[in-house]
Every structure is written in C-alpha cells, then in structure tokens.
Structure 1
Amino acid sequence: MIYLDHAATTQISTEAIETWVKASENYFSNANSLHEAGEQASQLLITCRKKLSSLVGTSEENIFFTSGGSEANFIALNSLYLAHKHLGNHVITTAIEHPTVHSFFQQLEKQGVEVTYLPVNKFGLVSLEDIKNATRKDTFLASIQHVNSEIGTIQPLKQFGSWFQQNNIVFHSDCVQSFGKISIDITEFRVDAISVSSHKIHGPKGVGAVLLRENVTWSSVYPLTSHQHGFRPGTLNTPGIAAFTHAAIDMHDELAEKRIRAWQLRNTFINQLRPLGDRLKLEGHPDQSNQLPWILGLGIHGVQGQYMLLTLDRFHICISTGSACQSEELDGSAAMNAIYSTEQERLRFFRISFGKNTTEEELTYVAKKIIEVSNE
C-alpha cells in the first residue's frame, strides 16, 4: 500500500508505540491520586508539558491536554470567549476554517454575536487589509488557521497577530496541520492560543492539546471541573500524552532538513505530472513561504476527484478528495467553496499529502497511475 493521506491521519511511529507501551505498563495510575504511583504519573505529565512547552515558546502551566484537535479548537475558543465576551459583540474568522471552528462561531451567531467570515484569494490566503477593514471597536476575538488542510496554504500569523495584539483582540489559531512541520513560537507569532493534534504527527489518536501564551486569561467551560485547573474534565490519558510528546519531539528534530526533503519530493512529483499539460491545475500558494510542501491540492480537467480516489484505491494507493472530517458530506468543504466558483472545479479536486516515510519511488509510481487514469 502507498499511503498519501497524511493530512487526514498518520501512522503511529514505532518510537511512539514503544513509549505508549512503557507508559501504560509503568505509569498507569491516575495522575491526580495522592499515592506514589499517582505521583509518578503526575511527574511524567509534568515532563511532557515541559517538553511540549519548549517547542512553542510558552511555559508548562499553559499546556492543556484534550482528546484531539477538534476538542482543542472547541475548548480553546469557548474558554477564551467566556473570559472576554464582556469586551464586545463582534468576532472574526475565515471562510476556510475547520468545521469545529465554524461550528463554534455559528453557535455564537445564535447567541446574537456578530461574526465576520473573511474571504480568501485564489491561493487560499487571507488578506491583512481585509482583517483591518473587518476590525471594529467591539471586536474581541479572532480565529484564523495556520495551514489549510486541503491545499496547504500557510497564513502569515505573525502579521495577523501583530494587528490583533495592537487592537487588544484575543487571537486563536488552529495549528493542527502546521505543528511538527513549521516552527511555531507563540510569543513571536503573537498568538494567544493554538490547537494541536497527536495523530497528525505520527502519534496516537485521541490526544491533542491547547497551548496558551503567557498570561492569557481564560474561563472554564465546565463548571466544578478540577482536572487541569478546570480547563477540561476527565482523567488524563497519560500513555497517549507520553507517546504524543515523543512524536512531537521527533517531528521537530532537524525540522529544516525535513522541510527541504519535502519540497524535493513535491517538486519531483509535480514534474512527473507535466505530461498532463494544461489539464493539470495545482492548488495552493506559488510562494514557498506561504505553502506547506507536504500537502498538494490537484485538479485534472475532465476527471472527477472522487473517480481518481476510487480508481487509485484499486492499485492500493490512498489519497483524499479533501478533509476527512467532511468526507460524508455531499457539498464541497468550506475551503473548496471559498476558493472555487464552479461545481466542476470542486468536483475535480483531490489531495496528495506526504508523510515522513514517503519515498520518491512511491511518488513516481503514483504519478504514472494518475496520468494513466487521466488519459482513460
């Protein structure tokens, strides 16, 4: 099998599995328990928080574990909203956010909060001018994703964060697709909160985290919750968190070199598709500084993306037609609807997403099969 759907999920690494097993065997106690076994589990969690906080430039007290990226988005936005809703009645997000983010803002609209959904250009990029024009005196919260999961466009968070900070607007970013692939410094980016996920970086499923900037105010979403200082209820998944932390450290090791290799794989793959000529359309941003190399959005004139997915699957090649979170929806995703003007364009789209073990030989074979399918 050739697996090219890493933006949906990754295979857990051998190292993360070993860490999970060791933690399950030796640190199985409830970290809130007062006996020695509980203290050992608690110390392991403290170590994990220290390691993760060092990767994004915050302190261990600002790391809160969740069941994944979706819950991280939900709790982060809700806790920030509750703490700052007295400051205004207007919030900002974009048209291409993850469904969990859109769900949160749609809930706010039902409560009477005014929401601005910023558009994107044909490359999926949000305009700083649009952000400035949308900002009002009563704007108090914003959420803009770092990397789009379908076309890989990178938003310039530092620029956005600087503007929001100047205007005292709390800024959250969904960094599920960028964490472990782009170096993120919360203080430098001037982001108040980010959401990350384990299974996108070769860690186990069912683990994620919210990472906050120093001195950010938040309010508990769940009354009477004692776990994690009231941020999220429930006994922590200590083995999963340990494996997630190991995977995160591995992904950040030699990150620059990994990015260079990903660009080499991407460029080689695109060159091998050149026989398709003008039928081939590449999505995302043409500037490398605004494009994640691991995610490649494609469209081929005359071929539906769903047909491409199903045909390649016969050859044991796994790709995607977009976000797995909306795989059962008949309509296009938020990103597809924001970028494309016609249904034909939306139907043509499919996604290739590399992983750390993807090889040039695999991509050569896949490119050959894509051309064969397109020429049928």
Structure 2
Amino acid sequence: MKDVYMDNAATTQVKKEVVESMIPYFTENYGNPSSIYKKGRNSKKALDESRDLVARTLGATSREIYFTSGGSESDNWAIKGVAFGNKDKGNHIITTKIEHHAVLHTCEYLERNGFNVTYLDVDKYGMINLDDLKNAINDNTILITIMYANNEVGTIQPIKEIGKIAKENNIYFHTDAVQVIGNIEIDVDELGVDLLSLSAHKFYGPKGIGALYIRKGVKLHPYIHGGAQERNRRAGTENVALIVGLAKALELAYEDLESHNKYLIRLRDRLINGIMDRISNVKLNGHIEKRLPGNVNISIEFIEGEALLLSLDMAGIAASSGSACTSGSLDPSHVLLAMGLPHEIAHGSLRLSLGDFNSEEEVDYVIENLTKIVQRLRDMSPLYENVKGDN
C-alpha cells in the first residue's frame, strides 16, 4: 500500500534544507537574542537576517514584520489590535462568510464586545462582489479583513481591487494570506494591504511560527504584554530556531515560483480531469481559473464525507473534507454552504491539496482508488439506489 499525502493545505512536510538551517539554533547558537554576550548576539543576528528576508519577500521593510506563533495568532492580533486601537474612530468591521475560523471567531468575539460586523456573501465560486463591499462601508468602518485565497476551495479574491477600495475610504485592510505564500508573488504596496498574515507550516516550514506584516503608521494595540520584544508589541523571547526555519522555507518557496506553479497546476488538472472522467455526479468547487495551483475541492453526491475519508485512509491516502481546524466536526463546510451548496452535497465534499512532494504516479493512484471507493460506498447507499432506479 502506498503512503500518499494530499493534505498540503492543512500542513506541509518540512523540507530538509529548512531542518538543517534550524539545527544550529537548537545547539551551539541557543542564546537569548536580547542578551549582550556572543551567543545572544549570534541569535540576534539570525533574527535580524530572517526578518530582513521576510520583509524583502513581501516588499516591506524589516520594521514592519512581526513574528508570531502562526496564522491564527496573526489574524487575531491584526483584527483585535485594529479594533481596540481605533474604537475612537468607529466600531464597524467588514469580512466575508467564508473566512478561516481564526477570523470568523475573532469577529464574533468582537461582536460580543460592542463591535458591529458585516459578513459579505459570496457567489457560487466563492468570490465576493466588490459592489457589495462598497455598499457595506459606512462612517464607522475601521477595518476590512478578507482572505487572499480560501483554504478549502482555493478561490483567489481580487485583493488589489479591495485594497484600492479600502484606501479610497481611509479604512485599514487586513488579508489572511496563509494559503497563498509560496504560490503567488506578494508586494504589499502593490496590493494595498495594511496587515497581512502568514504561517510557515503552509510552505514547508515548521509549525508554531508565523508572521504579521503591519504597515508603518497603522494604529493597533499590542498583543502580548511583558518584555520589549517585537518592538514592544509582542512580548516573549523569540523562537530563533523556528524563525530561521520560516525564513529559509520562504526563501526556497520563491526561488523558482513559476516552475513550481506549473508543476502543481499540471498535477491538479490531471487529478480533476481524472476524477471527472471516472466518477459521475461530481461537482468541482471553487473558481475554475482563479484558484490556488494545488487545490482540488469536489463534492461527490450520495456519499458521506467521513466514510470517504476513512476509506481513503485505509488505502494510504491522506485527504480532508475541508479546513483542518474543523476536521473533527461532522457539520458541513461553512464555506460550501455560503457558496450555495445544499447540506446533503456539502456533506460529501473532499479536498485534495497537492504539494512539492506529490507525483503523477500518486495522482493516478488516488484517481484509481477514489473511483473504487466511491462505487463501493454508493452501492451501500439507498439514495443512490433510487437514482439508479430512476435511470
């Protein structure tokens, strides 16, 4: 039995070069970067160089990069920080119904604390309507937070256009870019974003480390109080080893982005076409063209997602039914429901997310096994029996 990992949107394998870059900062260069002696200075140098690399990759300055524990913390800090830091100006926030729960639950928390939130609808592809965004803005709007690309269906939002709208109305704009780093070139000035979240484990780096870009001049509250780390905005001794790993993973991700994307798109299209050709009553979710290169999200009718995932696992295939953060829930995806899918079809959703370590052979193995599994599960389904009977 093969061991096929196709859940790269949930997390990725740490690349060998990344592991090697981190090891010295667990061993000989383990000093606290706030210390003045040599071991501390060595750690501080690595910390500064890593911050510089992240800044260059995003088109930012090093003083605009803040290290966090990952995407969820970055999202929380961006949204709560702007909300509480600007409540003298207004209390209205705009987001979408298909955001990651790190954004949605943060907005719900703020609603319980005196803020008003507008949740924009999306179309059947998971795309927002820019006119809906413009119409939602009022005199009390202080923040727009819209993800760059959806973690479940891969749809890429018109971030540059959103940034322009935000700037014209003097509103801060935050984007959760966790899924796009390593897939799309980023220039924060060109995009017009004021805050941007990223997480290393989505681009072959370690878990537990991320970053938040905060444009110079953005008014927001500090996130953790204590020491003077991260320019007095996020206290706590920096995890130098993981920060070095993040920077190395980011460097590798953008070394040859064009060929990386071509490879993933080739695998993705082979997987989509193979599934569509072999299995009936299947719907591709997300935008057909404006989607992440490695994302395949499908709904298979007359199938329960949980049974499908367990059967795939028995065949050595790791996949998901949507966001990794809600994989333990039996509820259908909030993203698919917001896109207009009925509950019974949303329940049969499957996300296969490809990465650098996948191959055409693995794609063919998934197509072959998925076809057999779907047929076996449908043979046990009374709903499918009725459909066969009608035909």
TM-score (norm 1): 0.96
Corresponding residue to 2:214 among 195, 202, 212: 212
Q: CA deviation at 1:327?
A: 1.5
Q: CA deviation at 1:279?
A: 1.1
Aligned to 2:162: 160
Q: CA deviation at 1:340?
A: 3.5
Whether contact under 8 Å (1:171, 1:191) holds in the other structure is: yes
Q: CA deviation at 1:81?
A: 2.0
> What SS does structure 1 have at the residue aligned with 2:87?
helix
> What SS does structure 2 have at the residue aligned with 1:65?
strand
Query: Is 1:7 the counterpart of 2:1 in the alignment?
Result: no
Whether contact under 8 Å (2:83, 2:91) holds in the other structure is: no
Distance 1:65 1:277 in 2: 45
Query: Is 1:359 the counterpart of 2:362 in the alignment?
Result: no
Distance 1:276 1:342 in 2: 23
Query: Is 1:28 the counterpart of 2:34 in the alignment?
Result: no
Cα RMSD for the two superposed structures: 1.3
Distance 2:91 2:239 in 1: 36
Whether contact under 8 Å (1:27, 1:238) holds in the other structure is: no
Change (3 A) 1:26 1:76: farther
Aligned to 1:309: 309
One-letter code of the match for 2:44? S
Aligned to 1:296: 296
Whether contact under 8 Å (1:9, 1:200) holds in the other structure is: yes
Whether contact under 8 Å (1:201, 1:247) holds in the other structure is: yes
Query: Is 1:346 the counterpart of 2:355 in the alignment?
Result: no
Aligned to 1:274: 276
For residues 31-70 of structure 1, the aligned pairs below 5 Å read 31-70=33-72
Aligned to 2:386: none
Aligned to 1:192: 194
Query: Is 1:19 the counterpart of 2:34 in the alignment?
Result: no
Aligned to 2:383: none
Distance 2:166 2:339 in 1: 25
Aligned to 2:248: 246
Q: Which moved more, 1:153-162 or 1:79-88?
A: 79-88
Aligned to 2:266: 264
One-letter code of the match for 1:165? K
Q: Deviations over 1:240-299 (max 9, x none)?
A: 110111011101111111111111111111222233354121111022xx2112111011
Corresponding residue to 1:92 among 91, 94, 101: 94
Aligned to 1:125: 127
Whether contact under 8 Å (2:149, 2:177) holds in the other structure is: yes
Distance 1:217 1:375 in 2: 56
Distance 1:242 1:222 in 2: 22
Q: Which has the larger radius of gyration?
A: 2
One-letter code of the match for 2:333? S
> What SS does structure 2 have at the residue aligned with 1:299?
strand
Distance 1:41 1:8 in 2: 30
Distance 2:150 2:52 in 1: 28
Q: Deviations over 1:141-165 (max 9, x none)?
A: 1100011111100011000000001
Q: CA deviation at 1:225?
A: 4.1
For residues 300-339 of structure 1, the aligned pairs below 5 Å read 300-339=300-339
Q: CA deviation at 1:223?
A: 4.0
Runs of at least 5 residues in structure 1 that lack an aligned partner in the other structure? none
TM-score (norm 2): 0.93
Q: Deviations over 1:318-359 (max 9, x none)?
A: 010111111122322331331244211111101000011110
Distance 1:68 1:77 in 2: 15
Distance 1:215 1:59 in 2: 13
> What SS does structure 2 have at the residue aligned with 1:273?
helix
Number of residue-to-residue matches in the alignment: 374
Whether contact under 8 Å (2:22, 2:241) holds in the other structure is: yes
Q: CA deviation at 1:75?
A: 1.3
Whether contact under 8 Å (1:58, 1:214) holds in the other structure is: no
